Amino acid sequence: MKKLFFLLVLVVSCTQMWSQDVDKTSGSANSKEDRNFRIPLIGEKAPSFSAESTNGTINFPDDFGHSWKILFSHPKDFTPVCSTEILNLAHLQSQFDLLGVKLVVISTDRLETHVQWKKALEMLKLDNKEFVKIRFPLVDDENIVVSKQYGMIHPETNSTRSVRGVFIIDPDNIIQAIYFYPMNVGRSTYELIRMIKALQTSSKDKVLMPANWEEGNDVLVRTPPKVDDNSPKTEIADYYNPAWFLWYKKVKNN
């Protein structure tokens, strides 16, 4: 009986130890999985969020209607590179307005710091440009909720250094382009405008944009034009092909 009793005690003890090990392993796995913040990809719906900003409470993307949107993120206020980026965006607000683009900027500092940062930037002349008012919202993401939704927090750390993403979102709230930049290199505002123009032209005219495309340049077509004896010569002249697999369509500039 004593041997049987000790055997039962041994089995129970081993079972409990095994159970604890499984729980620890499972907990570790779950913890790591919880920190695996996935970047939403091109073609996916832009994650929605509600947050406080320098323009009041915003609900993204619903508050911005059927328009193109750019979500521009920063890891911290008052940093040198980010400050130049905000001012460049502000100086080009009229160009974004003409393209029907709404700008939303998030930063992982709190709202009070955003307000002070905005005030300081609006009193700063950069590159011999005049003072400028920042009309787009600076969103409070102190709790890194938005940064997690957009996959900008690395799984192995809580650091906000990787919160340097740009998401271009179409009127149907589908992500159309994604950029990520290091902390030591400023983003090109002009490239964002070029990309918006390219995406809008491609969507409207059902064409493709070649490398280094700029507004007014010729575009690519997916398939060769249908040409027969009845095709108007003027229509045929609108196309040319350097190779059988590469067809361009001429853009008529006014």
Structure-token pair, residue 18? 């095994």
Percent of the chain that is helix, strand, coil (3-state, to 5): 35, 20, 45
| Residues known to be catalytic | 82
Tell me the C-alpha to C-alpha distance, in Å, between residue 156 and each of 34, 41, 149, 153.
Answer: 11, 21, 16, 9
C-beta atoms surrounding 167 within 10 Å? 22
* Nearest alpha carbon to residue 53 among 134, 173, 132: 134
Long-range residue pairs from 175-181, CB within 8 A, at least 24 positions apart, any chain: 175/40, 175/41, 175/42, 175/43, 175/44, 175/45, 175/46, 176/42, 177/42, 178/39, 178/41, 178/42
Phi, psi of 114 (to 5 degrees): -55, -45
What is the number of alpha carbons within 13 Å of residue 189 lying toward its C-beta?
17
**CB count in 10 Å sphere of residue 102:** 19
Cα separation values, 120 from 86, 88, 124, 185, Å: 11, 14, 7, 22
